[in-house]
Copies of this chain bind each other. A is one copy, B any other.
């Protein structure tokens, strides 16, 4: 069986071998090669391969569907970056900054279609089911992004609303990545569902861990500056939990810090973090991450397969304890 790292190498090799060099017009394909070459953890396609190998010796059938997941994910990043006016992605200029908005819209559209092409480069007998789950999650991700945009202009967001947003924007794709691997491995409905549940809860843990790192991470591990979400006034789990637990005065202070445009970045972050610390938010959010991870692990434990699940388990704990 392949380890996480071996699966990642396989995906990286496949992506390096993509050749859009002879594709025309070049203006359309250069940004696609560019964003795919920026790297990243490749967690989603790796989950597809690791899930498939729980059920079958050869994971060949899962490779193209795994690439489909990664291409689709990068397409959503590309379009999200336009919508968020983000200047950087993985420490490089975003496509809409390096080229322009029109190029970013159109090369993103093309990637969405290419993802479908890769998804279907597999056995005919599983194509209808793959398409079904893939289109479902693709729509959910768009819905999640819309909710995320809606939150920006809303003053009140509840924690259940936030969880619904990250369910759609993050968790279902991790869940579906695993399910797609299971479909390629000809798993039963019950087995597919257990892997979906594992990925789903892992996805929620993953996103809250992201929110945590942005506030409490160490810059030298995290690789970017701390407090980005605070400066962007993001209504993260951390922030919403703080609002929920704060006294009237703390709540007023938090809200006025978030809505004050004339404040120095460093002191804004410092004052917000002080309130977070007074409320012991870090420990509380870490507990939530643990709980979702535990639920994920239970779903995985209930899956009865002869192959070892060690690598998937290891990955889950890595996600929970990651620093970047």
Contact = CB atoms under 8 A, between A and B. Distances in A.
A16 to B, nearest CB: 22
A106 B120 CA distance: 24
A105 B83 contact: yes
Q: How large is the interface on A (under 10, 10 to 19, 20 to 34, 35 or more residues)?
A: 35 or more
A110 interface: yes
Main secondary structure of the interface of A (DSSP, over half): helix
A84 to B, nearest CB: 9
A25 B146 contact: yes
Nearest to A117: B135
A83 B109 CA distance: 13
Given A25-B143, A114-B139, A120 B105 contact: no
A128 interface: yes
A101 B106 CA distance: 14
Nearest to A131: B120
A102 interface: yes
19 contacts: A25-B143, A25-B150, A27-B146, A27-B149, A28-B143, A28-B146, A79-B106, A79-B109, A82-B105, A106-B145, A109-B142, A110-B142, A112-B112, A112-B113, A113-B135, A113-B142, A117-B135, A120-B135, A127-B127
Interface of A: 24-25, 27-28, 79, 82-83, 101-102, 105-106, 108-110, 112-114, 116-117, 120, 124, 127-128, 131-132, 135, 138-139, 142-143, 145-147, 149-150
